[in-house]
Amino acid sequence: MADGRSVRELLATARSRLAAAGVDSPDVDARLLLAAAAEVDPSRLLIMNVVDSAGVHRFETMLRRRESREPLQHITGIAYFRHVRLQVGPGVFVPRPETELMTGWAIDRLAEVERSGRVPVAVDLCTGSGAIARALADEAPAAELHAVELSEAAASWAARNLAGTGVELRVGDMADAYRDLDGTVDVVVCNPPYIPLTAWESVQTEARDHDPELALFSGDDGLDAVRALTGVAARLLRAGGWVACEHAELQAESVPELFARHGGFTEVRDHRDLSDRPRFTTARRTA
């Protein structure tokens, strides 16, 4: 054991340290950090007994960073979203599992269009790392896909993640995005910033200190971006097309109300995530 330490010992110590540091998922984080440090797939840890000294040193460095509440994905450089693996780091919002259900909903709508005999068209607004667009490309490969991101720093990460997928990526404000596609889009999907500026202190440390503010905050009530989205979606969508918009748990009434009040949508509905929390609103463009 002089040349290394046991996997079991390393994981036990890491779990204890991460829990003490206030990390929400110490078991998962310990396993993913150790796999990254040992340079193996996480599943390989199950059959490993010892991590060599170089891996132990890398693990200790990574563990200290996570104890300081630096996001796990910034440390490993990897985020997993549905069935795809993404590159992430400083300057881009780290995709969350909560967004996967909305993405699946969008994939189902694209499949319906494809079954009707048309090539489906989708636009991912506020794409960030490109997570949603990349998942759409992976699970709806026949679709014509477009994405837009305002931040040049985030767009550089999206460009890496969308390379070779056929997704068209543009840098710019969603308010003016893809005017050349007006009235032709089947699905608009968006995970906009939606945190009220007044809620800054309540935001999880990892997000508040490391995610870009542009991806988090949206006016005093958190709804500025959603207000803009209602108009953009109405402009882009063909009659009968769908829009999906993620929101905060406390916006389960206010976001659907914005779409209903716009007047250009029907079938406005709110959806819950896998934790049974209100998570995203969908609406259909009127004929």
Residue ranges for the known binding site for substrate are 191-194
User: Which residues fall in the annotated binding site for S-adenosyl-L-methionine?
Assistant: 149, 191
User: Which residues fall in the annotated binding site?
Assistant: 149, 191-194
Task: Show the tokens assigned to 144.
Answer: 């014509």
Angle of helix 131-139 versus helix 99-115 axis, rounded to 10: 40
What spatial distance separates the first Cα and last Cα of the chain, rounded to whole Å? 70
Task: Show the tokens assigned to 60.
Answer: 């200790």
